[in-house]
Amino acid sequence: MKARLHQKPVITVSRGILKYKKIVYLLVSKRPIRYPRGSSRIAYIGTTTKGIQRVASSAAYRASDILSGYGLSTMEIYVITCPPKRNVKTWLLLERALLAQFVVWFIKPPKCNSQGKHFKWTPKMEQHFSKRGIDNILSQFDN
């Protein structure tokens, strides 16, 4: 039996993310995934209150689903944060805003998201985030 070292790292974590616990993260494939109205590299939009540990376990859990498509051999993880506000769960609101805009753009939620099909842009989302800002985040992963 011969052991082999793979040349590319599987996960790279930067120190800056360690100070955040409540984050929204995107699991993004290298190649676009087809949706009813266009294609995007975003395969999953998630949130956590446990920081980077949860992100790593979520990536491991969803890896087989994300990488099961033709030509999908690698995925990347991106983290989105926003400043906290008193009595507002901003990270949950940010996740819902991202999902709502994704559904507006592509008709259905990302490949690995089970919820979000009926999310709509609400006045509370409008109060805390701009549609243009959310669109700019999503457009970075457009085809």
Q: Report how far residue 33's alpha carbon sits from residue 41's, in angstroms, rounded to the nearest whole number.
A: 6
Q: Report how far residue 124's alpha carbon sits from residue 119's, in angstroms, rounded to the nearest whole number.
A: 13
CA 4 to each of CA 50, 58, 115: distance values in angstroms, whole numbers, following the listed order: 33, 26, 40
26 band by pLDDT with thresholds 50, 70 and 90 = very high
138 band by pLDDT with thresholds 50, 70 and 90 = very high
The pLDDT value given to residue 63: 85
- Whole-model pTM: value is 0.88
